[in-house]
Structure 1
Amino acid sequence: MFNLSEQLVNAIARLKGPARQGQLGRLRRGIEKEGLRVDRQGMIAHTPHPRALGSKLTHPHITTDYSESLLEYITPVYCRPEDALTFLADLHRFSYRHLGDELLWPASMPGRLAGNDSVPIADYGRSNVGFMKHVYRKGLDVRYGRIMQSIAGVHYNVSLPEEVWPLLRELEGAEDKPLNAYRSGRYFDLIRNFRRNSWLLLYLFGASPALDRSFLTGAVPDKLAAHARDTLVSPHATSLRMSDLGYQNKVQAQLKICFNSLSNYVGTLRHAITTPWPAYQRMGVNEGGDWRQLNANILQIENEYYSDIRPKRVARHDETPTQALEARGVEYIEVRCLDLNPFSPLGIDATQMRFLDTFLMWCLLSESPWIPDEECDRLDDNRRAVVERGRDPGLALTIDGEQRRLADRGRTIFAELRGVAELLDVVEGGEAHVAALDALEPLLDTPERTPSGRLLRALEESGSEFVDHVLELASAQAERFRDEPVDPAREAWFRELSETSYQQQADIEAADRERFDDFLAAYFARASEPRAASPV
């Protein structure tokens, strides 16, 4: 029998009445999904971004991330997971009309590479803002290498119902606090609990226990074992993408951002984008007109900070992301630790989305004390252990200073999630959130059924290479998307968006009057300025 926290039980009980009366509102969700373009041999594509997909700089739904080959799809914000997934599917269907023989790689770890320079950096045109995006990516190359930037994932954006904040503020007796400040503080409560428990998402949804040898440029780490001729695997790993082989950075680690407050978060990032780092200074910035990076600071811009979750607010044209947060508070959060599920054509499905919604709401409603530096280190240790050994049945995590088996701690969390899932089902009707828990909880005792376990088992049973196996999945998914119709009205709209995006890019380029040096200096001068918080 699990003892649920009193705070969680009380919060759920107080919210169920308004939920039954339709006063709570729905969560709002959006998806950003990355995927490499590859050829029929699984080699990263070197062709330009297809013209029919529009301008990478200005298209609202189809762009690229680091590489010219790394497509990124961005859905609008929806209240129903199925609507977001339908839009994402239409983006795939529309793209496949214009990809020729190329495929979208459905795994987080890339296909075949041919060294650092085989990953082409995205080009965003000749405007100052477009060139800035290109130089930023050149900076990522000199700092970390291009190969790390060939990794793909899913970002899940969620804003909680606006109606919930006044209810929670009243529940806590905090009516004297401005709503913006209250909402931001509670989002940071959510983020801290996410940081404490994100290892569960890595276990349930990690899907990268293997990689192609071409991903490595140096010696093979001890934690990887040979499989077939060109594949390396980590027998109990869940997400090599989130390991020190992927998005990790020792320079950024010294920032020690544990999300205790908005002011601390903003101040730490502002310090990082204004503080030089000696190793980056030695690399040079603008050498005789050759821009190597935007600056030599710890972070070139705020987006360079790697984390598994971020507080977000849509920025205005004259704001950086942290200035938008500082001025108007947190609007939504972005979950960034999700691998592409290679067995799902979209990389994510409705069951996973509803689990994430339940998990995030649980993080909000549960008690969330501030995280001291020592706990921050332990959280990193837990995450690292699950990334590297999450499917080891004997793995224990440090929870509140004690050692707990992953499965045992997971069952405790699922017991608490159930009440939250029931609350969300009252809001949205049906039993979809409870059903998501029912579908995923058995994975705690059957690690071989997790996406990482399924992929590793498939490689072991077939003896096939990682690239060859994922290539089969990519080919089957491509055939499906090519055969499925796109709604005619939506396809016409996609075509119109593509053409309009080129005109928007041309207008931006025509309007530029500044030299790039002056444009960049003005940008960073503005970026260093604090913004007054809204009194609302």
Structure 2
Amino acid sequence: MITLSESLFPDIERLGRLASEGRFGRLRRGIEKEGLRVDGAGRIAQSLHPRALGAKLTHPHITTDYSESLLEYITPVYSRPEDALEFLSDLHRFSYRRLGDERIWPASMPSRLDGNDSVPIADYGDSNVGRMKHAYRRGLDVRYGRIMQAIAGVHYNVSLPDDLFALLRELDGEGETAMQDYRSVRYFGLIRNFRRHSWLLLYLFGASPAVDRSFLPDGRVPEGLEPHGDETLISPYATSLRMSDLGYQNKVQEQLKICFNSLSNYVNTLRHAISTPWGDYEQRGVQVDGDWRQLNANILQIENEYYSDIRPKRVARHDETPSQALEARGVEYIEVRCLDLNPFDPLGIDAVQSRFLDTFLMWCLLSESPWISDEECEHLDDNRRLVVSRGRDPELRLDHHGCKRSIADWGGEIFAELAEVATLLDRLEDGTPHGEALAALAPRLEDPSQTPSGRLLARLQSRDEEFIEAIRSLADEQAEGLREAPIGRAREALLDQLVETSLQQQGDIEAADVESFADFLSDYFERARESRALSPLHQGASS
């Protein structure tokens, strides 16, 4: 077999020696984890976000996503996965001491719903910023409905060491290229390779092969789903219904054709989308009788409305949109967005998965990554759709440069290459956690029953359980364990203080607002249309 050093990155051995010498450090990651609050019967909670958790507008670690009921936990950035997971665990423990009889739903597909209006839209207060967040979510309801927005997942944010990019720039002979530009080009190469191979993550970590019938309130049963019990629909070979047409989807956005070939293409396409009206959205109205139904009638209300399994990111300043921050200072980190919650883990993700993701992303960075043609883009989309709907089907074959390959075959080849990257990363560790993560996950390639989707489906079938019944049982077990687990005094004191600080900050923001909401939005979108590109590189090629 061709080794990584021969086929993908010829200087990996040199990088390994430099890693051993401490010439570059560990990856850094933060975790965002969503989870619906539910009542004891497994129905979506109708209660307000608990004041005892702080103000969701301003709390840095405990907020909500679309719904008032959809908790979102955000960890700080850590160089050790275990530290990020420990902070995430403390956020759960802290919350459970303040949630009363409610539970945090541990599955990506929602709990029992009662139609569109049973998903309450998050309210962020009376400030202009808070009203904008609420109006944006009302626009999502107008465009796609609320039920889709009740789906939960894990977002995994990773930045690679600056010293590593400096070494790669030297090895590539790109010493004359500005570091900001070089880093962005390499991150976009990582993203393209991620999109070529994200089907592997969907297979290994997909955990949503079933859904409650209340998720489909019109009673229709889409092709590929079949009844299980009275209230459950299953897809026998599916890995992630969350990432299927049942989950996050936007047919209008498909015309954007973003395949991440360059920063300029990415930014300019998003800017076009937030500036271009869409007829159907115009017909639904923006401000009707003083009521804001959506922020605008454009293809995207704001950039965050663009759905993708991965995004380039840069922390934005107060007067920037996400794209303007990318234009001005380049890519800072990437956000992986295709991960289901693992319902068997109280955090939805564990250290083995984190170490694998780090290895996979480093492999994507170090591998050759040519631009993606329109034809290849279609093949990549087809592969993802196949794995989402039929990933555990032993007869499934994916397209790989015109050849049809099984997941076990192609995945095994990727794992062999990942092993060399794991060795590189483990030179920065006391043990071999990355290599051990690969070893722990490799059996899933040959045995789909070991995947989270396979385990969940096997539980439903072997116990003759409904989806709601099974997940509610897991939620009860996890709630009991998290409530009983201690939190360190310093961490609990910090979280207590953040509750009070966030409430005070929201009050201060509301008191300081003097501009009307209409003027606030007008100013925001006028600024959003401005280019912040500083480098000639950003003015160049686009796909």
C-alpha distance after superposition, 1:384-435 (max 9, x if no partner): 0000000001110001121111110000100110000000000223100000
Q: Which residue number corresponds to residue 332 of structure 2?
A: 331
Q: After superposition, where does 1:96-115 map in structure 2 within 5 Å?
A: 96-115=96-115
In structure 1, distance between residues paired with 2:18 and 2:381: 38
Structure 2 CA distance for aligned equivalents of residues 248 and 534 of structure 1: 34
SS in 2 for 1:443: helix
1:45 matched residue in structure 2: 45
CA gap of 1:242–1:278, structure 2 versus 1, over 3 A, is same
Give per-residue Cα distances to partners, 1:28-79, cap 9 Å, x unaligned. 0100000000001100000000001000100000000000000000000000
Indicate yes or no: 2:58 matched with 1:58: yes
Letter in 2 for 1:112: R
Partner of 2:246: 245
CA distance in 1, matches of 2:2, 2:533: 45
How far, CA to CA, are the matches of 1:535 and 1:46 in structure 2? Answer: 51
Greater displacement, 404-413 / 184-193? 404-413
Hey, what's the Cα distance between the residues in 2 that align with 1:480 and 1:332?
Answer: 34
Q: After TM superposition, list the pairs within 5 Å mapping 1:64-213 onto structure 2.
A: 64-213=64-213
Helix, strand or coil: the match of 1:29? strand
Number of residue equivalences: 536
Q: Quote the offset at 1:535 in angstroms.
A: 8.9
- Residue 437 of structure 1 corresponds to 438
Mapped contact 1:209–1:233 kept (Cα < 8 A): yes
CA distance in 2, matches of 1:236, 1:182: 41
How far off is 1:5 after superposition? 6.2
TM-score (norm 2): 0.98
The alignment partner of 1:474 has SS state of: helix
* CA RMSD after TM alignment: 1.1
Contact residue 5 and residue 11 of structure 2 kept, 8 A? no
**Which runs of 5 or more residues in structure 1 are unaligned?**
none
Runs of 4+ in 1 over 3 A off after TM superposition: 1-5
One-letter identity of the residue aligned with 1:473: L
Aligned-residue identity in percent: 72
Q: How far 1:490 sits from its partner (Å)?
A: 1.0
Letter in 2 for 1:94: F
Structure 1: how far apart are the matches of 2:5 and 2:110? Answer: 42
SS at match of 1:300: coil
One-letter code aligned to 2:38: V
Kept after mapping to 2: 8 A contact 1:211/1:232: yes
The aligned residue for residue 313 of structure 2 is 312
Q: Does 1:368 align with 2:405?
A: no
Taking the aligned partners of 1:367 and 1:412, their CA distance within structure 2 comes to 16
Give the aligned residue type for 1:127. Answer: S
- 1-side partners of 2:438 and 2:8: how far apart? 18
Preserved contact between residue 5 and residue 13 of structure 2 (Cα < 8 Å): no
Compute the TM-score of the two structures, normalised by the length of structure 1: 0.99
Alignment partner, residue 519 of structure 1? 520
Map 1:263-412; keep pairs closer than 5 Å: 263-412=264-413
User: Could you say what secondary structure the match of 2:183 adopts?
Assistant: helix
CA distance in 2, matches of 1:44, 1:427: 44
One-letter amino acid matched to 2:94: F
CA distance in 2, matches of 1:202, 1:449: 14
1:282-301 Cα offsets, whole Å, 9 max, x none, are 11000110100000000000
The residue type equivalent to 2:486 in the other structure is P
Query: What is the CA-CA distance between 1:534 and the residue it aligns to?
Result: 6.0
Q: Distance in 1 between matches of 2:262 and 2:11?
A: 22
Shift of 1:4: 3.8
Paired residue secondary structure (1:415): helix
Question: SS at the partner of 2:492?
Answer: helix
1:35 maps to which residue? Answer: 35
Q: What is the identity, as a one-letter code, of the residue corresponding to 1:48?
A: L
Aligned partners of 2:494, 2:399: CA distance in 1, in Å? 51
Tell me how far apart the structure 1 counterparts of residues 12 and 391 of structure 2 sit (CA, whole Å): 31
Alpha-carbon distance, 1:532 to partner: 3.0
Counterpart Cα distance in 1 of 2:187 and 2:9:
19
Residue aligning to 1:528: 529
| Mapped partners of 2:3, 2:357: distance in 1 | 22
Distance of 1:83 and 1:4 partners within structure 2: 30
SS in 2 for 1:369: coil
CA distance in structure 2 between the partners assigned to 1:424 and 1:179 by the alignment: 23
Residues 144-177 of structure 1, C-alpha deviations (whole Å, 9 max, x = no match):
0000000000000000011101110111111111
What is the CA–CA distance in structure 1 between the aligned matches of 2:476 and 2:2, rounded to whole Å? 46
Matching residue of 1:465: 466
Instruction: Give, in whole Å, the separation in 2 of the partners of 1:310 and 1:301.
Output: 15
- In structure 2, the residue corresponding to 1:232 is in which secondary structure? strand
Name the aligned partner's letter for residue 123 of structure 1. D
Deviates more, 1:217-226 or 1:288-297: 217-226
Given that residues 209 and 236 in structure 2 are in contact (C-alpha distance below 8 angstroms), is that contact kept between their aligned partners in structure 1?
yes
Q: How far is 1:17 from its partner?
A: 1.3
- Contact 1:2–1:412 (8 Å) recurs in 2: no
Check the 8 A contact 2:4/2:420 in 1, yes or no: no
CA distance in 1, matches of 2:57, 2:478: 28
Q: Does the residue aligned with 2:335 lie in a helix, a strand or coil?
A: strand
Unaligned 5+ residue runs, structure 2? 538-543
- 1:30, 1:157 within 8 Å by CA — same for their partners in 2? yes
User: Partners in 2 of 1:118 and 1:20 — Cα distance?
Assistant: 55
Give, in whole Å, the separation in 1 of the partners of 2:158 and 2:11.
20
Instruction: Decide whether the 8 Å contact of 2:9 with 2:368 is kept in 1.
Output: no
8 A Cα contact 1:90 1:486, kept in partner: yes
User: For 1:198, what is the secondary structure of its paired residue?
Assistant: helix
Distance 1:287 1:389 in 2: 44
2:413, 2:57 → 1: CA distance? 45
